[in-house]
Structure formats: C-alpha cells, structure tokens
C-alpha cells in the first residue's frame, strides 16, 4: 500500500490519513506534522521552516526532499505508507519517483480530495488542533467532547497560526499555482483517482477504501 493523498489545505487529508494508515498497518507520513514537530522542538529545520509556514508559503523543495528521504530510510516505511501533504510541487514528485525507483518500489495510487473553496475556508477557520498528539477537530462539524480539550490526550487545543483567514487564502492560492499541476502529472501516469471530499467523514473514508482497492469497487 503506497498512496499519496493530494488536495488543497483543509480537504481532509490528515483526518482520513490518520485513521486509514492505522487500519492498513502503514505509517502516515505528513510533512506538515513533521515540520510542526520540528518548529515546536526548535530544531534547525523548525527554525528554517517556520517563516514559510506562518505566511502560508511552501518550504523549499530541497529541505522537504531531504526530510522525506530520511523518513523513507526508517524501517516502518518499507511496509508502505500514506503520504499526506507530499509531494506538493513537480520537483517534489520527480524526487519521489527517483527515491521509489532506488528502493525498487512504485506508487499504487494518488487520491485527489475534491472540496469547494467556501467549504475549505469554513473548515480551516474553524479547525482546532492538538499540539501534542496532532488530532484535529472543528468547532461545529467535529467538536471535542469538552470544549477546547483534546479527546485523545487531554491537552489544550490551539488554532494553527496558518489557519487565520488571510493566511488560508494565501495557502489556497499556493495550491492552485504550485500543487495543482501535479493533477495532470499523475493523471498522465494513470495514477490519479478523484474522491469527493464533502459529506460525512465515514462516507468519504469508504470511498477512499474503494479508490485504494482495499474493498471491491
């Protein structure tokens, strides 16, 4: 199982990747989560990435490609993976292709999450995240049992710095300009499957399972 979850910010990639990767027994590899952990820990990578992330820009390709190469070298990635938020540019997709070739592996499918812009804005501006275990909630669509407190680990929930409306609009523009060209890139390789990203989390999950071929279509 080697999948890429592709889609604009707020499309639900993280929500679905966390559950499905666990169900399939492979790691969820989220470059966003890895970068936020580095920022929180104050590592050189975190200090380098923070400015880009806070203003909604992409972190430079060479930094991200090195991060992924290091992650792929860990033993759990040999079982497969769900890539969440990587690749996001053509150079990243080309680097992923080379990396997999070196490992004698190939991508099984790229799942595109299709969600309208007003819905993305509503989701991101209402998202609350757990800084400890990375669980995500939404103030109205998916609230925690106790307001402001993570159901899983009890930490205080926070709003991501890049989920303020002006930064969300920048991120949506970055997706259109820099990431949308990947749709054609993977379509030409026969790997792209579009999944409607609106509706209940459970119904979308069932459609992803079908698209990934883990249940009959």
Tell whether residue 127 is a contact of ligand AP5 (CB under 6 A). yes
13 catalytic residue (yes or no): yes
Tell whether residue 15 is a contact of ligand AP5 (CB under 6 A). yes
Paired tokens of 131: 């800084």
127 catalytic residue (yes or no): yes
Listed ranges 48-56, 70-78, 144-152, 209-217: which one lies at the site for ligand AP5 (CB under 6 A): 48-56
The Cα–Cα gap between 34 and 40 comes to: 10
18 catalytic residue (yes or no): no
Residue from 86, 150, 192, 211 in contact with ligand AP5 (CB under 6 A): 86
Q: Name the catalytic one among 88, 109, 123, 128.
A: 88
Output the CA angle 210-113-193, nearest 5 degrees: 50
Distances, alpha carbon 162 to alpha carbons 32, 120, 168, 171, 216, in Å: 11, 13, 6, 8, 38
Residue 93: helix, strand or coil by DSSP?
Answer: helix
Q: What CA dihedral angle connects 85, 86, 87 and 91, to 10 degrees?
A: 120
> What residue ranges bind ligand AP5 (CB under 6 A)?
7, 9-15, 31-32, 35, 52-53, 56-59, 64, 85-86, 88, 92, 123-124, 127, 136-138, 141-142, 162, 171, 201, 204
Catalytically active residues are: 13, 88, 127, 160, 171
């Amino acid at each position: 199982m080697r999948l890429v979850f592709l889609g604009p910010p707020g499309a639900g990639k993280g929500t679905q990747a966390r559950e499905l990767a666990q169900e399939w027994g492979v790691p969820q590899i989220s470059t966003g989560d890895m970068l936020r952990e580095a920022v929180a820990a104050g590592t050189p990578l975190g200090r380098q990435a923070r400015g880009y992330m806070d203003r909604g820009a992409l972190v430079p390709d060479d930094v991200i490609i090195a991060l992924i190469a290091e992650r792929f070298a860990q033993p759990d990635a040999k079982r497969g993976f769900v890539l969440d938020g990587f690749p996001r540019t053509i150079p990243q997709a080309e680097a992923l292709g080379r990396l997999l070739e070196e490992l004698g592996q190939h991508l099984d499918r790229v799942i595109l999450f299709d969600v309208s812009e007003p819905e993305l804005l509503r989701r991101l501006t209402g998202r609350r995240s757990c800084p400890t275990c990375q669980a995500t909630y939404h103030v109205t669509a998916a609230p925690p049992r106790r307001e402001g407190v993570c159901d899983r680990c009890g930490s205080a929930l926070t709003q991501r710095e890049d989920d303020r409306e002006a930064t969300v609009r920048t991120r949506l523009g970055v997706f259109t300009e820099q990431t949308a060209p990947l749709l054609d890139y993977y379509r030409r390789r026969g790997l792209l499957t579009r999944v409607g990203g609106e509706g209940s989390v459970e119904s979308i999950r069932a459609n992803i399972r079908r698209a990934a071929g883990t249940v009959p279509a």
